[in-house]
């Protein structure tokens, strides 16, 4: 049984609730346990995963970044993804469920467990990477 850390950037509460619901359901359906920690924003997700790397078997990063009027969207979306990818390349099993969308309607469709269920998909990706890690490790 794996112990998974869900790291959520809780900026949009109602959207994060949906992502969390999907992630938790997927982890529990696979027979694993989980804990959740909340961070201020998507940029803090990779750093938190790095801090907890020795304590958990797999990680799920969750959050929502909605395009605004400034360049900030590109920085947050790109750098959070880059940080997660770097940790994955270092051998951590991570599912990236940080949505990068144009508007709230797109986020709702992607976050809802009865629609695109990106939280659940991120959890399943983390567990698939954990399986590969044990296979190749």
DSSP state of 93: -
Confirm whether 3 is a catalytic residue: no
Give the span between the Cα atoms of 110 and 119, in whole angstroms: 8
Determine whether the annotation assigns residue 73 to a binding site. no
Do 74 and 36 touch, CB atoms closer than 8 A? no
Annotated binding residue at 110?
A: yes
Instruction: Retrieve residue 41's tokens.
Output: 């924003």
Q: Is 44 annotated as a binding residue?
A: yes
**Upper half-sphere CA count for residue 52 (Cβ side, 13 Å):** 24
Question: Does 51 belong to an annotated binding site?
Answer: no
Q: Which of 3, 14, 34, 72 is catalytic?
A: 72
42 labeled binding residue: yes
Half-sphere exposure (CA, 13 Å, Cβ side) for 117?
A: 14
64 is in an annotated binding site: yes
Binding residues for 5-amino-6-(D-ribitylamino)uracil: 11, 42-44, 64-66, 96
Give the residue numbers marked as catalytic.
72
Binding residues for (2S)-2-hydroxy-3-oxobutyl phosphate: 69-70, 110
Binding residues: 11, 42-44, 64-66, 69-70, 96, 110
């Amino acid at each position: 049984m794996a112990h998974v850390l869900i790291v959520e950037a809780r900026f949009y509460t109602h959207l994060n609730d949906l992502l969390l619901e999907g992630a938790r359901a997927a982890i529990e359906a696979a027979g694993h346990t989980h804990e959740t920690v909340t961070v201020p924003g998507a940029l803090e997700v990779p750093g938190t995963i790095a801090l907890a790397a020795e304590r958990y078997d797999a990680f799920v990063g969750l959050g929502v970044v909605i395009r605004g009027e400034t360049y900030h969207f590109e920085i947050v979306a790109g750098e959070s993804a880059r940080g997660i990818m770097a940790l994955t390349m270092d051998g951590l099993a991570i599912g990236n469920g940080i949505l990068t969308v144009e508007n709230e309607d797109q986020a709702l469709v992607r976050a809802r467990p009865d629609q695109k269920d990106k939280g659940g998909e991120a959890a399943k990706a983390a567990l698939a990477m954990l399986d590969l890690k044990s296979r190749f490790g």
